[in-house]
Structure 1
């Protein structure tokens, strides 16, 4: 990095010294308070660091980078239009800041708080320590309605409401530039990431705003009716989840736009119900991330640690591989996995069914498959990811067991088999009467349609009814143990919602929300 135009190194308390805005999962200029605070205090260096420990982690993929890279390109243009393009560097965070300090002298560092995985948590701790050693101000500002140091949920809902009530922060009109080369934005190949997908949602703030606008104006009209079926959810869910996960739009901006649209439509059905259902999911977005913020351990152990022993010695590699490759013999499970692998998206009900099948039918430990799913979701958000995996695996101790019957789900949400036939070509010629459960086809029907079970399409690798009965019995027995019940009571106090509980800050949300209230339908 080139030295500043003068040899003088201003004090970090001088009025015009360098302001560094460290961008992570907040790739936008609108509703970006660190950027606005920095812009009012001196020349601004907006910095994104491509960190090897992040991009080489087992929960990161080329799909993520494709979305991030496009978002970085758009962000560079938006910042350049204000006077200072985005600066991109590769390397670990602390050495990168150290080189900047040696080249430019003291600076103030700005960033949003991030609730990420253990790697980014440790990285942030190291950066704070480095800034203290060098007596550099480091301001971390809340981005979501997620609060550090929260002891319980008694006040969370009220605090979330107050935080979200503030209007989105307008972007700075101009930035005082810094004489520094912007640096290249690497490709997936540059980073050694192998692409394994067909499509990915478009990144960037403008793309996110288009998606939001189309949802609120047209696509979301029957959101509450069409979010469960994989045939309709791809178009009629908001599809904002990757934009929220990587911060190309802010949750507060989405909430305010939703409420404005609610005011415009009034009580008109079906818009009123659709928007109310969508707003509830914005609330649940932060509800789940708060769980990880308050208990980082849930990335690596169950909410109820005593339940980790249930599946510890039961890993079946053949079952795991069949599940990840979409060849379990259950058509909707396999179609969903192949759709996810190709597109990076599934609606919540189908995500929950995939996890339920892995956790109950195949009796797989959620820690065994958390990374493969994280790599495949374009919208991977650690706080939501770990909480949802555990909810659908029965390890929270406070949520009802949801054991999805994949054949029942197929008949209800893909009645004509259109989704199954799209993603499983071997089943395309199968009559509708058998497409949801092809193992029931008589040999004569198999011969006439050319689909041989066990040859062109696999037979079921487990019997659903037997597997879930055994899973239910095992978990029920474990939940009766005093140690598990004590841990569950502690989890409810620390992480549960407050519906039906009197007292200060009682929330209006339920502790065990039904599927229609979950956040992953975003």
Structure 2
């Protein structure tokens, strides 16, 4: 029998389009391993909702591997210590894994594993998992590389996975220290509305329902907190946990576009045009997905440091606790902001525009540093993806130096995207009796009306924690001045050279 290959699963919990699985299977008998790492489990960006999705995915992965003759060993402990102990009882000659752009903890862990493997004489094979390019020298040409990867052949799923005899793996399992052997305790999934479950089957069901029916109005409805939950693809959690690859989603969208062209007989021309627009927007979001992860891949420090040092000290290093708690708890006195935060805490999901708005509000209106608000959102987003999350936190806080400062007006957003107040009434029920007009700025509701509806502003629902016009003007003037200084000092150019999309000149993006 050939030498044993260790297949290390991380955030790539699938069997389809999985290059390490295919490579390990071709090289010899395979032992698939997932390690539950205490350092990750107790990190500031981890929540029980993530554990629920993980459990779903691992259970299905175990079944899928077993059906092909494989098995998944779940271990517990710090890496590379777990691998060293496993290697002592069941020697392996190579570790196969996907490249991963994770948080600072996983970044340091991967470096430790690579160093240990080199010292132990074990081959380490890390393969690309999406459009992110490791050790990228320049952003020039990155978009072409992304297209090449997305259009490359889907990696075939092995029909049969050779594994060591059960007697060997059983003996090795029992030879491991008890604290390394993970015993999966039942995870009770919350009964929250719109709960997002994990697993490869669920991922493909969501993608298929989006491309066949739900996504027709995607381009228009994606910004609405009422319509987006059904009209968006909802595959973001699957992408974050790797139960679906970006390439699978991209190629499925291209197939759907070809079907529409072939099926169009003139009678459904408008429907086909609407679908085409939505599919183009969806594909651009997949590109955007990797574009932002690439930023963190290139500079892992962006999880906890500003793009440019000129933004250091712009906001207080210690947050205003009252403001932070009011924002977190949905008690700011701004109905749409509060509805979004309450909804997110329960469902684990918000459409992108609402995500941008709540981050913008925290950063500009409340003048909170993204390093205090970002971890809260990371724990609540079921689809938390470090590369997207931390770079977006900075972008929506205005600390990149190269992106246009965009301060969302929560009143305007409510008028445009929740005009009838359905979303606010659902998540801020204390305001439900107010008229649509009063629902946008309830503090302007006449006192008699407040008394008649049983919602006294300042008692049943808070008055605005800050004055919109004053906070807006202060943030606008302060951030524009700093951004201009970043351009003049050359720091903005340095950020652009490293991270810019290259689609438009720097001057056009920041003026």
Equivalent of 1:282 in 265, 283, 286: 286
The separation in 2 between residues aligned to 1:106 and 1:211, in whole angstroms, is 37
SS of 2:302's equivalent in the other structure is helix
Distance 1:271 1:195, change over 3 A: closer
Q: 2:69 aligns with which of 72, 77, 83?
A: 83
What is the TM-score normalised by the length of structure 2?
Answer: 0.92
Aligned residue among 214, 227, 234 for 1:219: 214
Match of 2:491 among 484, 487, 491: 487
Unpaired stretches in structure 2, ≥5 consecutive residues: 174-180, 262-268
Other structure's SS at 1:489 match: helix
Contact 2:487–2:493 under 8 Å retained in 1: no
Instruction: Name the structure 2 match of 1:392.
Output: 396
Instruction: Give the 3 Å change call, closer, same or farther, for CA 365–482 of structure 1 in structure 2.
Output: closer
- 2:20 alignment partner, one of 34, 42, 45: 34
RMSD: 2.1
| C-alpha contact (below 8 Å) 2:317/2:369 kept by paired residues | no
**What is the CA distance between 1:369 and its match in structure 2?**
1.3
Instruction: Call closer, same or farther: CA 1:128–1:314 in 2, change over 3 Å.
Output: closer
* Cα distance in 1, alignment partners of residues 305 and 508 from structure 2: 21
Other structure's SS at 1:93 match? coil
Which residue of structure 2 aligns with residue 242 of structure 1?
Answer: 237
Alpha-carbon shift at residue 186 of structure 1 (Å): 2.8
User: Number of paired residues?
Assistant: 489
- Structure 1 window deviating more from structure 2 (429-438 vs 57-66): it is 429-438
| Counterparts in 2 of 1:327 and 1:32: CA distance versus 1, 3 Å | same
Aligned-pair CA distance for 1:482: 6.0
Q: Which residue does 1:372 correspond to in 2?
A: 376
TM-score (norm 1): 0.90
Taking the aligned partners of 1:311 and 1:303, their CA distance within structure 2 comes to 15
Are residues 1:427 and 2:431 paired? yes
Equivalent residues in 2 for 1:344-359 (5 A)?
344-359=348-363
Task: Name 1:101's counterpart in structure 2.
Answer: 87
8 Å contact from structure 1 (residues 233, 347) kept in 2:
yes
TM-aligned CA distance change 1:30 to 1:189, over 3 Å:
closer
Moved over 4 A (4+): 181-185, 194-199, 510-513
Q: Is the contact between residue 496 and residue 511 of structure 1 (CA under 8 Å) also seen in structure 2?
A: no
1:202 to 192, 197, 203: 197
> Are the equivalent residues in 2 in contact too, given 1:499–1:511 (CA < 8 A)?
no
Q: Shift in Å at residue 305 of structure 1?
A: 1.8
Counterpart check, 1:186 vs 2:190: no
- Whole-angstrom distance in 2 between the partners of 1:176 and 1:314: 55
Three-state SS of the structure 2 residue aligned to 1:303 is: coil
1:320 equivalent in structure 2 = 324
CA 1:16–1:270 in 2, change beyond 3 Å: closer, same or farther?
A: same
Q: Is 1:45 the counterpart of 2:31 in the alignment?
A: yes
Name the SS of the counterpart of 1:54 in structure 2.
helix
